[in-house]
Amino acid sequence: MSSNIVLKRGLDIPVKGAADRRVMREVEPGTVAVNPTVYKGLVPRLLVREGDPVAAGSPVLADKDRPEILFTSPVSGSVKEIVRGEKRRLLAVVIESDGKGTAVDFGACDPSSLSREEAAALLLKSGLWGGIISRPYGVMADPSVSPKSIFISAFSTAPLAPDTNFSLGHEVEAVQAGVRLLSRLTDGGVHLCLSAETYSASPFHKIEGAIVHTVSGPHPAGNVGVQISHISPIRRGETVWTVPIQAVAAMGRLVLTGKLSLMRRIAVTGPAAEDHAYVEALPGTPVAEIVKPGENVRVIDGDLLSGRTLAHDGWTGFFTDQITLIREGNETELFGWAKPFRPKLYSSSPCYFSWLTPWKKYDMDTNLHGGQRAFVETKCFSDVTPMDIFPIYLIKACLAGEIEKMEKFGIYEVLPEDLALCDYVDPSKNDIQAIIASGIDLMIKEMA
């Protein structure tokens, strides 16, 4: 039942700084953090104290309400520090590596022979369960639920996104094993979405045990939410799980070797990065060990549209597969909007002249390029949202906090990342993703 989906609407932002297809170095872990803030819906409970010894795969945190969901250390060593923020909110458990590589043995197995319960138990105790994201709302998956289906997007169209064919091309076996393991968790099957442009060159098109779809079009064609809405839209009361492809590979390595191994290729990208290539590093590696950002540079975990800002002394997280560096645009520009030409800036709108140079890549910064206003131009939102929804009505329903309207306008089908381009194109400079996120939070609260 595979299908080819052709999307027309969307936008590829022409920004400089894509990663070359090479590994520049391997980051030897000195300290690594287990970071609970990257999992939506997790209330963490600490299982270790400072000084406790841990092995790779031994539990460090658990979910407070569902204690079977564990979060484990990626390295062996000892707990160095427990970092808390405001109101004693747990930010990170920092583990100092001893370099010995001792690891908990979960037992290698053939994923096809596992029952649903066995497969779930393996993921729960190894700490990889947190890699499963449940839709609607994009929260951590509930182990007691059997989802309608599981979706994996094997490519990303986000600005400067890592090329999965390179970052995971050498791990097709692990991805295959991961897909087999995940298929034990659902009766609806695992859907794997590949880019139609690189389909024939992709090492993933031979993956078995999954329904393979090809998708073509500009960003957000690679977003799993957009793919779901075209393949099997989410109705009220249904649950669909999605798993980032890096997590699928980690699950595959777990069943192939019996050990937790999270080492992965992370793309270092962005106009302010000195060298654009991949590093091999563990999730939780300190930012400073991967990149050396300058004074006025923002470090982003993820892409330019929906990544989260990292402190220069912060840590990457479980989902990190890309680090983007970009200059802070905190300078004023004389007569900016009134100049006929602004060759250094990109605009998707014909009100500027970027359309004259379609081949050009731009050195972007974080300037807002204007002041916040009420919504005026709204057609631009639907132009970049290739889904069967009316973005402006969904946004307004979220602003008004009207549950019933949010439902009708498709809140179940979207996460903020799916409307990230609306943020980008809006001439009124509203923070659409934040509005959608607040709508989703309201839904979680009201529908619980």
Partner 1 sequence: MAAENSTPRPGLFEKGGKLGWLHSTADAFETFLRVPGTVTRRGAHVRDAIDLKRVMIIVVIALVPAALFGMWNTGYQTSTLYGLGWGFWMCFWKGFLRVLPLYIVSYAVGLAIEFASSQIRDEEVNEGYLVTGMLIPLIVPVDVPLWMLALAVAFAVIFGKEVFGGTGMNIWNPALLARAFLFFSYPSKMSGSEVWIHAPKGVDAVSGATPLALAGESGVSALSGDLSFWHLFLGDIPGSVGETSAIAILLGAIILIWTGVASWKIMVSSIGGALLVGWLGCLGGVTDVPAWYQLVLGGFLFGTVFMATDPVTSAQTECGKWIYGFLVGALAVTVRLFNPGYAEGMMLAILLMNTFAPLIDHCVVSASISRREKRIRTA
Scan residues 307-346 and list those touching partner 1 (CB under 8 A): 307, 309, 324, 326, 328-338, 342, 345-346
Q: Which is nearer to partner 1, 161 or 247 (CB)?
A: 161
- Say whether residue 424 binds partner 1 (CB under 8 A): yes
Q: Which is nearer to partner 1, 203 or 329 (CB)?
A: 329
Shortest CB 420 distance to partner 1, Å: 5
Q: Which is nearer to partner 1, 280 or 328 (CB)?
A: 328
Q: Do the Cβ atoms of 290 and 268 come closer than 8 Å?
A: yes
Among 31, 165, 257, 367, binds partner 1 (CB under 8 A): 367
- Say whether residue 268 binds partner 1 (CB under 8 A): no
Element (H, E) at 224: helix 224-231
Residues 42-81 that bind partner 1 (CB under 8 A): none
Shortest CB 230 distance to partner 1, Å: 10
Which DSSP string corresponds to 151-208? EEE----STT---HHHHSGGGHHHHHHHHHHHHTT-SS-EEEEEESTTTTT-GGGG--
Residues 191-230 that bind partner 1 (CB under 8 A): none
- Say whether residue 166 binds partner 1 (CB under 8 A): no
Shortest CB 225 distance to partner 1, Å: 15
Classify residue 274 as exposed, middle or buried by CB count within 10 Å of its CB (0-12, 13-18, 19+).
exposed
Q: Which is nearer to partner 1, 434 or 447 (CB)?
A: 434
DSSP 64: S
- Say whether residue 237 binds partner 1 (CB under 8 A): no
- Say whether residue 425 binds partner 1 (CB under 8 A): yes
Torsion, CA 152, CA 157, CA 160, CA 161, rounded to 10: 0
- Say whether residue 364 binds partner 1 (CB under 8 A): yes
Q: Which is nearer to partner 1, 311 or 351 (CB)?
A: 351
- Say whether residue 84 binds partner 1 (CB under 8 A): no
C-alpha atoms less than 13 angstroms from C-alpha of 340 in its C-beta half-sphere: 0
Q: Which is nearer to partner 1, 146 or 428 (CB)?
A: 428
Shortest CB 373 distance to partner 1, Å: 5
Q: Which is nearer to partner 1, 84 or 235 (CB)?
A: 235
Q: How many residues bind partner 1 (CB under 8 A)?
A: 74
- Say whether residue 37 binds partner 1 (CB under 8 A): no
Close Cβ partners of 157 (under 8 Å, ≥ 6 residues apart): 10, 12, 195, 217, 218, 219, 220, 221, 222, 223
Among 434, 441, 446, 447, binds partner 1 (CB under 8 A): 434
C-alpha atoms less than 13 angstroms from C-alpha of 336 in its C-beta half-sphere: 12
Classify residue 57 as exposed, middle or buried by CB count within 10 Å of its CB (0-12, 13-18, 19+).
buried
- Say whether residue 379 binds partner 1 (CB under 8 A): yes
Classify residue 105 as exposed, middle or buried by CB count within 10 Å of its CB (0-12, 13-18, 19+).
exposed
Classify residue 254 as exposed, middle or buried by CB count within 10 Å of its CB (0-12, 13-18, 19+).
buried
| Rg of the chain in Å (alpha carbons) | 22
Binding marks (x or -) toward partner 1, 1..20, rule CB under 8 A? Answer: ------------x-x-----
Residues 402-421 that bind partner 1 (CB under 8 A): 408-410, 416, 420-421
